[in-house]
């Protein structure tokens, strides 16, 4: 398998697992918990690579300015497809307008 190479500024999609009582409209792969009180589902998050760290981790920036450290081989992380880059361009451009941390 080829290594996935990420660079600073890359647009990425992170598939995040959520557990709530009411899945939102962007929920995918919704499954009820065994007792039926909660639902497990995935939501795609559109983030930008803020920095590539030396230990094979990536510093990802969210639309609201939060950061997350994720391994570059995480199966929930991938580059945004061409269709996603076109369709969700506004979300990614919002990220690039955020003030840079120094």
pLDDT in tens, 2-12: 567 899 988 99
Confidence label for 99 from pLDDT (cuts 50, 70 and 90): low
Phi first, then psi, for residue 64 (nearest 5°) are -95, 10
pLDDT of res. 3 = 61
pLDDT of res. 102 = 43
pLDDT of res. 43 = 92
* Whether the predicted pLDDT of 93 surpasses 80: no
Query: Which sign, positive or negative, has the C-alpha torsion 62, 54, 6, 24?
Result: negative
Range in 20-24, 56-60, 91-95 with the lowest mean pLDDT: 91-95
Biggest CA-to-CA distance, the chain: 47
pLDDT in tens, 34-81: 887 899 999 999 999 999 998 889 999 888 888 999 998 889 999 988
């Amino acid at each position: 398998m080829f290594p996935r190479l990420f660079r600073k500024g890359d647009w990425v999609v992170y598939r995040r697992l959520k557990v709530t009582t009411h899945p939102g409209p962007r929920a995918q792969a919704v499954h009820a918990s065994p007792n039926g009180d909660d639902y497990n589902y995935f939501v795609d998050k559109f983030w930008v690579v803020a920095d590539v760290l030396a230990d094979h981790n990536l510093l990802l920036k969210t639309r609201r300015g939060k950061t997350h450290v994720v391994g570059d081989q995480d199966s929930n992380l991938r580059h945004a497809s061409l269709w996603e880059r076109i369709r969700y361009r506004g979300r990614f451009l919002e990220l690039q307008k955020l003030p840079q941390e120094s």
